[in-house]
Amino acid sequence: MGKADVIDGKAIAQDIRNEIKEEVAKLKEHKGKESPVPGLAVVLVGARKDSETYVRNKRKNCEEVGYESFQTDLPEEVSQEDLLKVVADYNADERVHGVLVQLPLPKHINEREVLDAVSLDKDVDGFHPHNIGSLALRGRSPKFVSCTPKGVMELLKRTGVKISGKRAAVIGRSNIVGMPVALLLQAEDATVTVIHSRTPEPEAICKEADILVAAIGRAEFVPGSWIKPGAVVIDVGMNDVEDASKKRGYRLVGDVKYAEASETASAITPVPGGVGPMTIAMLLQNTLESAKKSFGCS
């Protein structure tokens, strides 16, 4: 059995950013002197090391493609009211085309109310219930598809993976990853089984899957023996594992045992360098779409 192809999310995300850069340059020509620039706002509550990495990568990426980037850091104890005010201000700010509230939020915050408050036209995260709900309805499409699920689909498309008529298994059913990924795969005519913590015999389901997406949040949960020979494996998981030899004191691993799985799969995403960079590229893409609409040039 040969080694699986590595699906290079980092390189694919770079291609997408290059495409975006060209579009931003065109936008500037289109509007002449006004030089309209897409703007993305991120609201971060409290300090978590994983959030900080994500927010830092996002800022770097915004700079690279020439977006204006806005950020509000709020203390862990912020009130619901003050958080909603920050969202309302970004909703009203015409330099801002996308508003993202970093999840998870502290326990005392009503997450539902905060996500509902993001303007539908600026919901580049695709977390508004209107946008998520539209994914489940045939014949409708959301204004914005959530970035991680959209990134998973884009990786499959850009690697030439056939989806229609295939069996897919998605491990995880969260609102932000597992569930929307399953809906998107189904919309592309895959036959999808969703596995969650109460699913009996997940192994048997996985062994039948031509496409396996893991979004569990448990380090190396899926062993190589669960993979159907020739399957395409997309590992969304991002788990910290202590590692004193690393500068940060930990390393990132996925939800799949990578070395084992790559003996059986035909293609697999690494962690890091797989889905993560794609999430940010999709965020930039959604923000560009939003900006183009607001400039009246889409």
Ligand X SMILES: Nc1nc(=O)c2c([nH]1)NC[C@@H]1CN(c3ccc(C(=O)N[C@@H](CCC(=O)O)C(=O)O)cc3)C=[N+]21
Ligand Y SMILES: NC(=O)C1=CN([C@@H]2O[C@H](COP(=O)(O)OP(=O)(O)OC[C@H]3O[C@@H](n4cnc5c(N)ncnc54)[C@H](OP(=O)(O)O)[C@@H]3O)[C@@H](O)[C@H]2O)C=CC1
Any idea what the Cα angle at residue 260 is, between residues 254 and 263, rounded to 5°?
120
For ligand Y, which is the closer residue by CB, 142 or 149? 149
Asked whether the beta carbons of 137 and 161 are under 8 A apart, the reply is: no
Q: How many residues bind ligand X (CB under 6 A)?
A: 19
Active-site residue flag, 58: yes
For ligand X, which is the closer residue by CB, 238 or 291? 238
Beta bridge partners of 173: none
E strands in 46-85: 68-74
Question: Roughly how many angstroms between the first and final C-alpha of the chain, as a whole number?
Answer: 48
Selected from 37, 103, 117, 187, the binder of ligand X by CB under 6 A is: 103
Asked whether the beta carbons of 235 and 271 are under 8 A apart, the reply is: yes
Interaction mask 129-148, ligand X, x per CB under 6 A: ------------------xx
H/E stretch holding 264 reads: helix 258-264
Asked whether the beta carbons of 287 and 24 are under 8 A apart, the reply is: no
For ligand Y, which is the closer residue by CB, 13 or 65? 13
Least Cβ distance, residue 251 to ligand X (angstroms)? 9
For ligand X, which is the closer residue by CB, 123 or 188? 123
The residue annotated as part of the active site, out of 125, 210, 235, 255, is 125
- Residues near ligand Y (CB under 6 A) are 148, 171-174, 176-178, 195-199, 202, 215-218, 236-239, 275-276, 279
Q: Could you say which of ligand X, ligand Y, none residue 172 binds, taking C-beta under 5 to 8 angstroms by partner kind?
A: ligand Y
258 contact partners, CB below 8 Å, separation of at least 6: 220, 235, 268, 270, 271
| Catalytically annotated residues | 58, 102, 125
Interface with ligand X (CB under 6 A): 53-54, 57, 100-103, 125, 147-148, 238, 252, 271-273, 276-277, 279-280
